[in-house]
Amino acid sequence: MVSPKPEADTASAGASANRLRLVLLGPPGAGKGTLAEVLARRLRVEHWATGDLLRLAVRNGGVLGAELKRYIDSGELVPDELVIRLLLDRMSDGGAWQTGFILDGFPRTVEQARQFDMALQRQRLRLDLVFHFATSTPVIINRLSGRRVCPRCQKSYHVRNIPPKKPGVCDQCGESLVQREDDREATVRHRLEIYGAESALLLQYYQERGLLAEVNGDWDIELLYRTLISIFDRRALVTSAERDSLLAATS
């Protein structure tokens, strides 16, 4: 007789949308942050974006903040050990291991992926799925040149695709929207080069573990969202009732 595995040790045990542990990979401007926000709200899971955590550390100032700002503004990756420590500390502080979560912008390197897997193993957990948003360069340039972000609550908009109700003002908190320093075209091109150099091995890492699902990042958000839900359904990561309610969600 085969003993049942403990629930925490199985990826899809007791399929439940709010226990999903997901990673969104893709180039800058692929829409990871935008979709992660929608998915996290509808799945009721945590959204961890290392870019946001790092920008918060920059705003907190000090020597570390100044050092991180140099990496981010130039489009370089922050060293692995700094990012891993920051993310794991924040996740542990927030008790995040007990709930589902979406990682957005992490991991960026195979070393980050390995270290995160080890942290999951210590909690007797593993990832359920890794989405790769394959996105074309003209779409990326268009999205990043039109992106505006709220410096207070981090909500992201696009001047044409996803405009705020009042131009230049955050719908959520009323702050004036700004353009990110690293969204200038030369820096975007450098970020794309770095992504190209790091991503192949990272995608292979997750492919070999049977976790990778490829989606077309050029699509609009609702189509992408529906595609992700159908992938959860095909992999039995959600129940049919959860699938139907996630497909019906509008907020």
Is 108 part of the annotated catalytic residue set? Answer: yes
Pair of tokens at residue 27: 């180039």
- Which among 42, 143, 191, 243 is annotated as catalytic? 191
Binders of ligand AP5 in range 207-226 (CB under 6 A): 220-221, 224
Cβ distance 87 to 115 under 8 Å? no
- Identify residue 28 by its one-letter amino acid code: P
Nearer Cβ to ligand AP5, position 224 or 229?
A: 224
143 binds ligand AP5 (CB under 6 A): yes
Residue located via tokens 């927030």: 94
| Collapsed DSSP state (helix, strand, coil) of residue 236 | coil
58 binds ligand AP5 (CB under 6 A): no
- Which among 32, 42, 55, 143 is annotated as catalytic? 32
- Which among 108, 143, 155, 243 is annotated as catalytic? 108
Is 5 part of the annotated catalytic residue set? Answer: no
157 binds ligand AP5 (CB under 6 A): yes
78 binds ligand AP5 (CB under 6 A): yes
Pair of tokens at residue 10: 């199985």
Return d(Cα 180, Cα 195) in angstroms, integer.
18
Angle between helices 62-74 and 50-59 (to 10 degrees): 130
C-beta of 232: minimal distance to ligand AP5 in Å? Answer: 18
Is 32 part of the annotated catalytic residue set? Answer: yes
Size of the site for ligand AP5 (CB under 6 A): 37
Nearer Cβ to ligand AP5, position 112 or 243?
A: 112
> Measuring CA to CA, how many Å separate 114 from each of 7, 48, 63, 111, 180?
23, 18, 28, 5, 30
Return d(Cα 203, Cα 109) in angstroms, integer.
10
Residue nearest to ligand AP5 (CB): 51
Nearer Cβ to ligand AP5, position 19 or 191?
A: 191
Indicate the burial class of 129 (C-beta count within 10 angstroms; 0-12, 13-18, 19 or more).
Answer: buried
Return d(Cα 143, Cα 75) in angstroms, integer.
17
Is 42 part of the annotated catalytic residue set? Answer: no
Is 143 part of the annotated catalytic residue set? Answer: no
Pair of tokens at residue 74: 């130039």
C-beta of 126: minimal distance to ligand AP5 in Å? Answer: 19
- Which among 55, 143, 155, 180 is annotated as catalytic? 180
Cβ distance 235 to 155 under 8 Å? no
Site for ligand AP5, rule CB under 6 A: 26, 28-34, 50-51, 54, 71-72, 75-78, 83, 105-108, 112, 143-144, 146-147, 156-158, 161-162, 182, 191, 220-221, 224
Instruction: Please identify every residue annotated as catalytic.
Output: 32, 108, 147, 180, 191
